[in-house]
Chains A and B, each alone.
Chain A
Amino acid sequence: MTATIAEVLVDGPEDVEEFNRWAMENRWSDGLPLLPPTPQRVAQFVRASGRDAGEVVMRVPPNWADATVEKVAANAVMAGCPAYCLPIVIAALQALAHPACNLYGSQATTHCCTAMVMVSGPLAAQAGMQSGSGAFGPGLHSNGAIGRAVRLALQNIGGAYAGEADRSTQGGPAKYTFCFAENEAESPWAPLRVDLGFAPEDSTVTVLSAEGPHNINDHVSDEPRGLLLTFAQTIATMGKNNAYCRNSDYLVAFGPEHAAILGRHGWSRRDVQSYLYERARIPYRLWSAAGMIGMLPMPHHFTGADGDFMVPMSDRPEDVLLFVAGGPGRHSSWIPSIGIGRSHTARIEDAKGERLTQLSR
């Protein structure tokens, strides 16, 4: 039986600074200022979700506690997340609970991964999200607060506190928040959600236990081959879990100017996926010398490889997920993953499981 907030209601300080000291002592914080989750604020957020307060959204490892709508709402209030964004926070948490994501592993691992959330579709703009310049933050948009709400819910409901159950060796700035919207307006390809089989009218969340974005700077290439060589050389690195964990996927976020080069030359998403699958590779003689060699089962077709065998960063071209994010400038990024968990994309739905088309602003 999950306790409601009314049953566990505690009297906290009204003063914001006092509240924040108190929240730190009670371990509800990520170290940055929080807004007090008063019953009135939490109730308002629950209403905005269109769901029952006691509905269990998912269970959060490692303590496998029920994430009720009310508990998620309390964390969203503390994160400074707008109430109308709660359906996105809930959808992200539900997606993270998909077994393919291995949230259990990512909550407790020594790796630096965090819960990355990408929103694709019409609800992103309604939520006041940024898909253009500075989409990874910071900025005057809701990206950061939505991502922080997800992270606080995972930490506080799941008990994944840094240095305790969250065993991340160094932590990482992306663990505060890592959330952005897809820039489909400037994409030469269909939005990622459509490529994955969702309708254009759907809005989706794509979640991944991911490192923060790694920059890819190419200021000189005006044709795909040179440009993508820069991408491949940035991605093929031995310190990434994707180099050793088979059956993993990773994300590549093209800045619009880089994407436009590919579009101008008629390169489809499949073309780019095939190129990166073929060219983002590490020579076996290096790959087999260090990194995570010997820790995981090696595919049969690797055995007996000579030193020149090129080890791919993903097992299949379709495990390289491409989309456009950001604004003007010749920068892109790739987003490595935990490796032992995959991305998952899910539709943002209402309480009845129907497509959500309107946030309650």
Chain B
Amino acid sequence: MLICTTPFTAMAHIEAAGMGMPDLPVVTVPHPLADRTAEQVGEMAAGAIESVVDGLLRRPPR
């Protein structure tokens, strides 16, 4: 399971494939992360949590 911001999605898939895990679930959150408030980060996490659960359980994306 890998979580990254959107610009890093291609890199995430390349690295996962290179390390022998081409089907590793990748969850993306909006970029940028660095200048968000704690509240905004909380909202991003809430928005991604279902995908994270799907990824961890290896269910097809909703």
Min distance, Cβ A203 to any Cβ of chain B, angstroms: 32
Residues in A neighbouring B17, C-beta threshold 8 A:
63
| Residue A165, interface by CB 8 Å | yes
How many residues of A are in contact with the other chain, CB < 8 A? 10
- Give the bracket for the number of chain B residues in contact with chain A: under 10
Segment of B5-13, B41-49, B52-60 engaged in the interface with chain A = B5-13
Within 8 A of A (CB), among B2-54: 7-8, 10-11, 14-15, 17-19
**CB of A159 closer than 8 Å to a CB of B:** yes
Taken together as a complex, chains A and B put the C-alpha atoms of A165 and B15 apart, in Å, by: 8
Are A65 and B11 within 8 A (Cβ)? no
User: Contacts of A164 on B, CB cut-off 8 Å?
Assistant: 10-11, 14
Task: Report the Cα distance A63→B21, complex, angstroms.
Answer: 11
A159–B7 touching, CB < 8 Å: no
A63 partner residues in chain B, CB cutoff 8 A: 14-15, 17-18
Q: Quick check: is A302 within 8 A (CB to CB) of the other chain? A: no
A165 touches B14 (CB 8 A): yes
Q: Is the CB of A62 within 8 A of B15?
A: yes
Q: Is B7 in contact with A62, judged by CB distance below 8 angstroms?
A: no
Q: Closest B-chain residue to A61, C-beta based?
A: B18
Is chain A's binding surface mostly helix, strand, loop or mixed? loop
Question: CA–CA, A63 to B16, complex, Å?
Answer: 8
Interfacial chain A residues near B19, Cβ < 8 Å: 64
Tell me if A167 is interfacial: C-beta within 8 Å of chain B.
yes
- What is the chain A residue whose CB lies nearest that of B7? A167
Q: Which residue from chain A places its CB closest to the CB of B13 in the assembled complex?
A: A165
User: Nearest Cβ in chain A — how far from B58, in angstroms?
Assistant: 23
Q: A64: which B residues are within 8 A, CB to CB?
A: 18-19
Q: In whole angstroms, what is the CA distance A165 to B18 when docked?
A: 12
- Shortest beta-carbon distance from B6 to chain A in Å: 12
Which residues of the partner chain A approach B15 to less than 8 Å between Cβ atoms? 61-63, 108, 165
CA of A231 to CA of B19, assembled, Å:
43
Chain B residues with CB under 8 A of A165 = 10-11, 14-15
What's the least CB distance linking A104 to chain B, in Å?
A: 9
Measured between alpha carbons, how far is A158 from B10 in the docked complex, in Å?
A: 14
B18 pairs with A159, CB closer than 8 A: yes
**Complex CA–CA separation, A134 to B10 (angstroms):** 38
Query: Within the assembled complex, what's the spacing in Å between the Cα atoms of A108 and B17?
Result: 15
- Chain A CB within 10 A, most for which of B8, B14, B19: B14
- Shortest A338–chain B CB gap in Å is 16
Contacts of A167 in B (CB 8 A): 7-8, 11
Residues of B within 8 A of A159 (CB): 14, 18
- List residues 137-192 of chain A with CB under 8 A from any CB of chain B: 159, 164-165, 167
Q: How far does the Cβ of A153 sit from chain B's closest Cβ, in whole Å?
A: 16
Interchain residue pairs A-B with the least CB separation, the first 9 = A63-B18, A64-B18, A62-B15, A165-B11, A164-B10, A165-B14, A159-B14, A63-B14, A62-B14
A-to-B contact residues, CB < 8 Å: 61-65, 108, 159, 164-165, 167
**Can you show 27 pairs from A to B with CB atoms below 8 A apart?**
A61-B15, A61-B18, A62-B11, A62-B14, A62-B15, A62-B18, A63-B14, A63-B15, A63-B17, A63-B18, A64-B18, A64-B19, A65-B18, A108-B11, A108-B15, A159-B14, A159-B18, A164-B10, A164-B11, A164-B14, A165-B10, A165-B11, A165-B14, A165-B15, A167-B7, A167-B8, A167-B11
